[in-house]
Amino acid sequence: MNRNIMVVIYLLCASCVGVDFRDDTIRDPELNLLSSGTGKLKITDASGVTLTKGKSGLLGLPIGEKHLISVEYFDQYGVKNEPTLSWVVANTSILSVTNNEITALATGSTSVNIAAGGANSAKVSITVTVVSDANAVAAVSISAPPSTTLDLNEEIQLSATAKNINDLILTNKSFEWFSDKPNIVTVSTSGLIKAIANGTAEVHAKVDGVKSNSIKFNVGAAAGTRTGTFQSAGGYSTIGSVTVTESGNNLVVQLSSNFQASVAAGTYIYLANSTAGGNVKSAGLDLGLWTPSGTKTFSAAAVPLNQYKYVVVLCRPFGLTFGFAELKP
């Protein structure tokens, strides 16, 4: 029995030999804000889905309160480490930052940009609102719409909530709505979206001067498709291309007819926002097992088109990236 177990382990390891988390693929460094999902820092993606980590967040604080910001950082080799953060506060009269801890100084709202990684820095941002009254608006958030890809002349009704620093919803508040490109997407005073031209536009709301998260909309048939070309990682070979198409509430991931990849025990196709194997395995979306004789079409239910940046070929037992394609646009 022990001998058989040792043989299985040897074969698994041999299939991934020569690769570890520090492979030779150069990537963009990645920085993420972290939240438990129940704290005061609220993180959403471009479609308004609430996340426990992401690139932008909303934070409401009373005057005098401190809040420690937590992040995770992966360098250009996909290695997770503790970074030295660079902070830029748009209005330093509203808050200060010391040792990654925000201190609320005066009422108002300001943006905070955080960077790590030196010249090739990765960045995240937080909009911080400081209030003196516990019943004042501290955060405004737009709920995720059914889709962020629109056909011409299509309409979608958005909804938003305003909350105080104790995360309680405030009623009887007036919302202002804004589109950064009203020539592409218009938004009414009630939050009704209408697509009037091909392209992309972001929509946000305000209550008592407090800005919400932004929702990014893609308009036009071409906006419902993203493509990418695979590149190899870690000394293994991955070639071909991929097309990701939004079909109703589902995504269809189609590998090209010439797609080929090195195969090990447990080779899977993933959607992810990182190419680092460990991060793909823990935070990516598993589409399914891939074998040379198997399917080249995968699907994902209720996933927005722009939620993920990469399609990744992963040796899942060891969390090792064999190759990846960055999706564009």
Question: Cα separation of 329 and 198, whole Å?
Answer: 14
Whole-number pLDDT of residue 26: 56
Question: Cα separation of 75 and 27, whole Å?
Answer: 8
Top pLDDT among 304 and 129 is at: 129
Top pLDDT among 25 and 328 is at: 328
Is the pLDDT at 13 greater than 50, yes or no? no
Is the pLDDT at 20 greater than 50, yes or no? no
Which DSSP letter does residue 169 get? B
**What tokens does 118 get?**
């030196």
Whole-number pLDDT of residue 329: 76
In a domain, 15, yes or no: no
Based on the domain organization, do 152 and 189 belong to the same domain? yes
Q: How many CB atoms lie within 10 A of CB 55?
A: 18
Based on the domain organization, do 157 and 198 belong to the same domain? yes
Based on the domain organization, do 193 and 237 belong to the same domain? no
Top pLDDT among 230 and 6 is at: 230
Based on the domain organization, do 160 and 97 belong to the same domain? no
Whole-number pLDDT of residue 148: 86
Based on the domain organization, do 49 and 119 belong to the same domain? yes
Answer yes or no: pTM beyond 0.85: no
Is the pLDDT at 233 greater than 80, yes or no? yes
Residues 226-235 have a mean pLDDT of 90
Q: Are 114 and 126 in contact (CB under 8 A)?
A: yes
**What tokens does 186 get?**
């218009």
Whole-number pLDDT of residue 119: 55
Based on the domain organization, do 105 and 61 belong to the same domain? yes
Of 80, 111, 131, the residue that ends a domain is 131
Render pLDDT for 106-162 as a digit per residue (tens, 0 to 9).
Answer: 999 999 999 987 655 788 999 999 999 888 999 999 998 988 888 889 999 999 999
Top pLDDT among 97 and 328 is at: 97
In a domain, 18, yes or no: no
Give the total number of structural domains in the chain. Answer: 3
Region label for 275, one of left (φ > 0), alpha (ψ between -120 and 50) or beta (otherwise): alpha
Residues 245-266 have a mean pLDDT of 86
Is the pLDDT at 74 greater than 60, yes or no? yes
Q: Which domain holds residue 114?
A: 30-131
How confident is the prediction for the chain on average, in pLDDT?
85
In a domain, 284, yes or no: yes
Count of alpha carbons within 13 angstroms of residue 1, beta-carbon side: 0
In percent, the amount of the chain with pLDDT more than 90 equals 51
Is the pLDDT at 66 greater than 90, yes or no? yes
Whole-number pLDDT of residue 118: 66
Whole-number pLDDT of residue 223: 55
In a domain, 14, yes or no: no
- Token look-up 């520090």 returns 22
Residues 35-59 have a mean pLDDT of 81
Top pLDDT among 25 and 118 is at: 118
Based on the domain organization, do 320 and 240 belong to the same domain? yes
In a domain, 16, yes or no: no
Residue 174, domain CATH: 2.60.40.1080
Based on the domain organization, do 228 and 320 belong to the same domain? yes
Residues 286-315 have a mean pLDDT of 89
Alpha helices per DSSP H over the chain: 2-15, 277-283
Question: Cα separation of 17 and 12, whole Å?
Answer: 9
Residues 64-85 have a mean pLDDT of 87
Of 192, 219, 246, the residue that ends a domain is 219
Based on the domain organization, do 284 and 304 belong to the same domain? yes
In a domain, 190, yes or no: yes
Of 199, 219, 239, the residue that ends a domain is 219
Position 100 confidence tier, pLDDT thresholds 50, 70, 90: very high
In a domain, 22, yes or no: no
Is the pLDDT at 182 greater than 70, yes or no? yes
Residue 69, domain CATH: 2.60.40.3450
- Mean pLDDT lowest among 10-14, 29-33, 38-42, 94-98: 10-14
Based on the domain organization, do 170 and 261 belong to the same domain? no
- Mean pLDDT lowest among 8-22, 55-69, 70-84, 143-157: 8-22
Based on the domain organization, do 40 and 90 belong to the same domain? yes
In a domain, 24, yes or no: no
Based on the domain organization, do 151 and 246 belong to the same domain? no
Whole-number pLDDT of residue 25: 54
